[in-house]
Structure 1
Amino acid sequence: MSGGGPHEARLLPWSTPEGKPCYLDSDGSGYISRVADTIESVQLGLAGDLLDHADELLAEDEVPPDQLRQTLAQVTEALRNVHRIAQSRGARLPLDPDGYA
């Protein structure tokens, strides 16, 4: 995706069962776009909550390794979701005449 504006195909916040990305080619006003917006909002909220939890763990003197491992797995998933949202939104930014968003 090169960032061509509001009618650029949108990277959706979910994948196919095979793990391939899903795209939506629309003007952004339909039902699927609203569902994607809602899912992205939930994902961003969960990422924020998870950052707070990770900060709490980092402030503790001793944390069990299994709790650290579980939190790291959750942080990795949240970061993957946030990265996908950033890619999706960045690809839909209008480019200025010099080719920058």
Structure 2
Amino acid sequence: MTYDIESGSVTRLLPWAGPEGKPCYVVTDGTGYVSRMADTVERLQLGMADGLLDHAADILADRRATPAQLRFLLARMAESLSDVRRIAESRGARLPVPVRPD
């Protein structure tokens, strides 16, 4: 993350990938259209992860779950984990650096 003290802007990792799966960034003060869209996408992704966890609990409790159902669940969980990891990286990079007294 880069932080410009004069403008108050940061380089933010966005919650979606660009072409070829590469990370996308925006330089922002946190109030612009792209930042608000990123906040919305993060909320949706985290909500979908919650729903997926509930679904996983149901599938895993069902002893009749088929291998195809389990593979599908695992694929969706891998996608969701990738999203959540990107959100964590983005938010962690935007945390203020603690000032240590010397």
SS of the residue 2:98 aligns to: coil
Work out which of the residue numbers 66, 69, 87 in structure 1 matches 2:68.
66
How many residues align structurally?
98
4+ aligned runs moved over 2 Å, structure 1: 1-8
- Quote how far apart the aligned CAs of 1:62 are: 2.3
Q: Percent sequence identity over matched residues? A: 54
Structure 2: give runs of 5+ residues left out of the alignment.
Answer: none
* TM-score, scaled to structure 2: 0.88
3-state DSSP of counterpart to 1:25: strand
> 5+ unaligned residues in a row in structure 1: which ranges?
none
Aligned mates of 1:10, 1:40 — CA distance in 2? 13
Paired letter, 2:47: G
Instruction: Give, in angstroms, the shift of residue 43 of structure 1.
Output: 0.3
Higher RCO (C-alpha 8 Å, min separation 6)? 1
8 Å contact kept, 1:11–1:23: yes
User: Could you tell me the TM-score, scaled by structure 1's length?
Assistant: 0.88
Counterpart amino acid of residue 33 in structure 1: S
Rg larger in structure: 2
Q: Partners in 2 of 1:77 and 1:34 — Cα distance?
A: 23
Aligned to 1:17: 19
Q: Distance in 1 between matches of 2:43 and 2:70?
A: 26
State the Cα distance separating 1:8 from its structure 2 match: 2.7
